[in-house]
Structure 1
Amino acid sequence: MTIIGIAGGTGSGKTTVVRKIAEALPPHHVVVVPLDSYYNDTSHMTEEERHAINFDHPDAFDWKLLIKQVNELRNGQAVEQPTYSYIKCNRLKETLHVEPKPVIIIEGIMTLLNKKLRDMMDLKIFVDTDSDERLIRNIQRDVLERGRTVDMVISRYLEVLKPMHEQFIEPTKKYADLIIPQGGENHKGINILCKYIESLVNV
């Protein structure tokens, strides 16, 4: 089993890189473990308290559960992956049944932050995209998918995303085995990466 970690700022193109890797490998060969599914359970909090949480800080994630479930997948055990609602700012009751596959991709902004998680990875990738491009993608995604206004997205970017990126995400670039510039726009780099992963997992 090969475990790949993919990190990078919000809107950097991580999802595109994950999709390209999955498409390059045989069908049903890859399972994706999104870091965003492992925000802490905030059911005990009021709605006001939940909306006050900084979800771009490491403390917002349930690292213990994530590491436990990745270990279980690595040991050939299926897991019940949590699901999360950005609108409710809380976990949903529904879980996602995930079976182990030959390739596990852990994807999220701070995937390379936790040392225990990093030590489980065979390949660590950082998707490095210009901050202006990431802001544009954030506006497009959050307005369409998360019910936010453009002003809300820009305000959140300046007050939360940018400082958290500089403090926690950007420094994890040093742990990466490979850096992919410009996310999904760097087709040549992704194609080379996919060829390498094919050889790595021997398919």
Structure 2
Amino acid sequence: MSVLFRSRQLVAGRVFTTLCSSFRPKVNCRMAASSSEPKTNGPNGRYNGRINGVEGKSPFLIGVAGGTASGKSTVCKRIMEKLGQVDVENAQRQVVSISQDSFYRELTPSDKAKADRGQYNFDHPDAFNEDLIFQTLKDILAGKKCDIPVYDYRTNSRCEGQFITIYPADVVLFEGILVFYFPEIRDLFHMKLFVDTDSDTRLARRVPRDINERGRDLEQVLNQYMNYVKPAFEEFCLPTKKFADVIIPRGADNTVAIDLIVHHIWDILHGSASIQQKYSITRRSSGSSDTLSR
């Protein structure tokens, strides 16, 4: 490891430690002493604290925004992997991840025809069911069990009768292109991350993804990107970057940033293991953010 890289890593660590101190739950000495005994094998291993699925727990809610194919879901996946949560039974997870894509509105027949031709704007705020997102996140913050719709990208519709059950957890990641766009939803997050990846990289990722995973052809993907995705990013998504507490350049490729975020979440999990009350959060001003880069 070069001296320059190491120094940047240390600086990033200090910045993130300072930032995260304002998000950490307040714990008195008695609580800290009762939870000081190790309960895990480290932040890259499985958390062995409280059993999940208990109604009434209020989680630490993290919003993860960024442009299409910026790496939002991959960032969440890496966080889950490093915390040993991926292979944990759904009802036992301490950390869960939810996609904003699950909350696309049901399309009318005319909109469905447009979508099939690649002429429907899925990146516009109106494409999402804002009320359902807000109510679902409110229920999650209230410690309630929630059923999240399953969305089929090939048919541009929800899978009828299919849901993913989200049980009460300690930390909830909510990712999507416009998770910071709606003020009432944005204000629910205790921490806001913006995954910042350059447009060329995002397009290079989106093309094979939409062709291989979503059944689109190349011409349709490129036309949709130029006519809808790119303009919507510049008008609706990019301006919300200013609301982020932490900006992550290069997404999941930024391993330093991922590790720092994981360690902060680890602190939340470890520190909250014996706390049965809602976190007391000191919010940072919305006008400032920190960029974690290597």
TM > 0.5 fold call: yes
TM-score (norm 1): 0.93
RMSD: 1.6
Find the aligned partners of 1:49 and 1:184 in 2 and give their Cα distance.
33
Within 5 A, what are the aligned runs for 1:118-137? Answer: 118-137=186-205
Contact 2:63 2:179 survives alignment (8 Å): yes
TM-score (norm 2): 0.65
Structure having the higher Rg: 2
**Structure 1 match to 2:94:** 29
Aligned partner of 2:122 among 51, 55, 66:
55
Work out the percentage of aligned pairs sharing the same amino acid. 38
Q: Name stretches of at least 5 consecutive residues in structure 2 with no aligned partner.
A: 1-58, 86-92, 272-294
Q: Single out whichever of 170-179 and 78-87 deviates more from structure 2.
A: 78-87
Within 5 A, what are the aligned runs for 1:29-178? Answer: 29-42=94-107, 44-46=108-110, 47-51=112-116, 52-93=119-160, 94-178=162-246
Contact 1:128 1:183 survives alignment (8 Å): yes
Aligned partner of 1:19 among 77, 83, 86:
77
Aligned pairs, number: 202
Any idea what the Cα deviations from partners look like across 1:131-160, whole Å, max 9, x if unmatched?
A: 000000001211110011222212211111
How far does residue 45 in structure 1 lie from its aligned partner after superposition?
A: 2.4
Find the aligned partners of 1:157 and 1:110 in 2 and give their Cα distance.
16
How far does residue 92 in structure 1 lie from its aligned partner after superposition?
A: 1.7
Any idea what the Cα deviations from partners look like across 1:35-61, whole Å, max 9, x if unmatched?
A: 00000122x524415544311100000
Contact 1:24 1:198 survives alignment (8 Å): no
SS of alignment partner, residue 104 of structure 1: strand
Cα pair distance change 1:142/1:49, threshold 3 Å: closer
State yes or no: 1:183 paired with 2:251.
yes
Contact 1:22 1:29 survives alignment (8 Å): no
Q: Name stretches of at least 5 consecutive residues in structure 1 with no aligned partner.
A: none
Greater strand fraction, Structure 1 or Structure 2:
1
Find the aligned partners of 2:187 and 2:123 in 1 and give their Cα distance.
22
